Amino acid sequence: MKQVQQKFLSIYKNIREWLPEHKIAGSIITVVIIGAGWFLYGKIFPTPTTTSYVVSNAATSTIVVSVDGTGQVSASNQLSLSPQASGRVIYIGVKDGQLVSRGALIVEVDPTDAQKKVRDAQAQLQSAQLSMAKLKEPATDLELAQTQNALANAKASLSTAYSNSASDLANTFLDLPSIITGIQDIELGTATNRSQQWNIDWYKNAADKYDTRADALRDDAYKAYTDAKASYDATFLDYKNVNLSTADAATIEKLLTEVYKTVQVTNNAVKAANSLIQFYADQLTANNLSMPTIATTHISSLASYTSKLSSHASSLFSDTSTIQSNKQSITEKTYSLQELQAGANTLDIQSSQLSLQNAQNALQDAKENLANYFVYAPFDGTVGLSVTPYQQVGSGTSVATLVTHDQLATITLNEVDAATIKVGQKATLAFDALPDLTIAGTVASISPVGTVSQGVVSYVVKIGFATQDARIKPGMSVSANINTNIKTDVVAVPGSAVHTVSDGSLYVLMFNPPLVSPTGGSTTNGGIASTLTPQEVPVTTGISNTSLTEITSGINAGDQVVVRSITSTTNTTKTAATAATTRTSGGIGGSHGMGL
């Protein structure tokens, strides 16, 4: 111990002597030592962290999707009117030079095909609504009774199948013993000669005089018989040990398989014996010799055996198939009854909701397409016609010119935004020079041909004013917000609550049970601390804007979802966007993503 102390004192003395001469190096070493110590301390005694979750409840809301654009108030009050669909002009509602009011029908292009699509879409929607209603309705007493009766009938059919199988097994064993004995007499008997040779040897020797292939046929016949006899003996022993009137289902099924195999093997023995004797007969015929009566008798007997065995094989195979079919039917009908008693499951309801939503969207699209065949005056003015009845016109073709004293806003949109707007959509207009003024408007026209500038395609859109204001002057800067889609009474969540998996599927994060803040309630902007991990719940979505996303299936109004998470330590607080990462790619509709 004394030596250690002396060693330590020596090192300490050397350091004290070295430091005054090496101040910079000493300072660096001191800083490194302090930093390493602080790092090790942090590893041993980590700063406690907590995760808080900002949650919100899904709510029934109205979602408005809009497109923004800027431009100027038009100096010209002349507007070219054109349909958004191609076809034959079937109706002109005004005369050339006539003064018309806003909303007057100017021209109608033949809408027959579009009307059919609306009709079909309405029928599809009604079908989807009926399917949803039927799915949610509890099973009626009649449906339950019918399903229970179907299950009882399937069980009765299975019982009948086992009974028929037992009868067919008994009938098979009425013939099998005599057939096995008959094959034995035909092959191993000596009725064909006086030398006490087996009949198959006599047939072989007699045919060998003309064709030596008889040797192989004789051996095949004998082997097939011995196989049949062995199979029959084993099967007959099992058959004798079974009381078919009281046998259980498994025993009958096992015996069916065993007896069917024996019948097949026995039938092979009959065919082999017949092949030998028929070969003998063919040789006699080829050499102009007559066949003995015994050979004709043998061939006739073998033919009768074949007929009986084929009939039994068919019955046994049918019994096995019927039993399996009835067992499967019982399983299916049992499952159907359980489903009926339990009611519709969640996946079926979600699928039906998705079908209903698709049908609603299809009808909306069909109606919007139908509107493309009608040209209305977007504001008051004098109309100048440029088409005649039954004239063929194309989409974007000018059919009339409307001259008005009302003002127009001319804005420019890029090709992506222009593809989402339609004539007749509502807009809100604001003016840089008049910050307190906001008026409503309607999309009056969309240029059919875009303008390319530095590789960017843009389209001119004209918006009619719903009200006129003397303060608005031609050339003033105007900002337009065009509503491209509006849905009311839909289930919506903040866009940041919806996340995307790499395969494109969507999910939200939920706690079960929902989080509750210390002050009560389940919705908070400050976050609720929790040591639990939220669950991923798959959802399907509809439209979305910068703040809300429509949920068409997966969750219901009132369900709590995680909007974002906050990870905090003793000294620092940072949001989930920088504190953690997940496999998600962020929220929908421009909202911020969230990581957990």
Residues with pLDDT less than 50, the chain:
570-596
The CA-based diameter of the chain, rounded to the nearest angstrom, is 136
Q: How far apart are the first and last CA of the chain?
A: 55
383, 366 contact by CB (below 8 A)? no
Q: Quick one: which H or E segment has residue 358?
A: helix 346-371
Q: Is 163 helix (H, G, I), strand (E, B) or coil?
A: helix
The residues, ordered by sequence, that sit 6+ positions from 380 with a Cβ below 8 Å of its Cβ are: 99, 100, 101, 102, 404, 405, 406
**Cα–Cα distance measured from residue 138 to residue 342, given in angstroms and rounded to the nearest whole number:** 9
Q: Where are the beta strands (DSSP E) in 17-140?
A: 50-57, 59-73, 78-81, 87-92, 99-100, 105-109
Q: Which residues pair with 568 in a beta bridge?
A: 50, 573
The per-residue pLDDT for 503 is 84
The per-residue pLDDT for 521 is 54
Q: For residue range 297-306, what is the model confidence (pLDDT) as tens digits?
A: 999 999 999 9
Q: Which residue has the tokens 């079937």?
A: 90
Count of CB atoms within 10 A of residue 589's CB? 19
**Cα–Cα distance measured from residue 229 to residue 179, given in angstroms and rounded to the nearest whole number:** 10
The per-residue pLDDT for 124 is 94
The per-residue pLDDT for 254 is 95
**Cα–Cα distance measured from residue 139 to residue 133, given in angstroms and rounded to the nearest whole number:** 12
The per-residue pLDDT for 574 is 40
**Cα–Cα distance measured from residue 282 to residue 289, given in angstroms and rounded to the nearest whole number:** 10
Count of CB atoms within 10 A of residue 511's CB? 19
Closest CA to 433 of 399, 478, 493: 478
pTM equals 0.45
The per-residue pLDDT for 588 is 38
Q: Is 387 left (phi over 0), alpha (psi -120 to 50) or beta?
A: beta
The per-residue pLDDT for 577 is 36
The per-residue pLDDT for 23 is 63
Q: Which residue has the tokens 């046929």?
A: 217
How far from 168 is each of 148, 202, 272, 485, CA to CA, in Å? 30, 37, 26, 71
Q: What count of Cα atoms within 13 Å lies in the side-chain half-sphere of residue 175?
A: 19
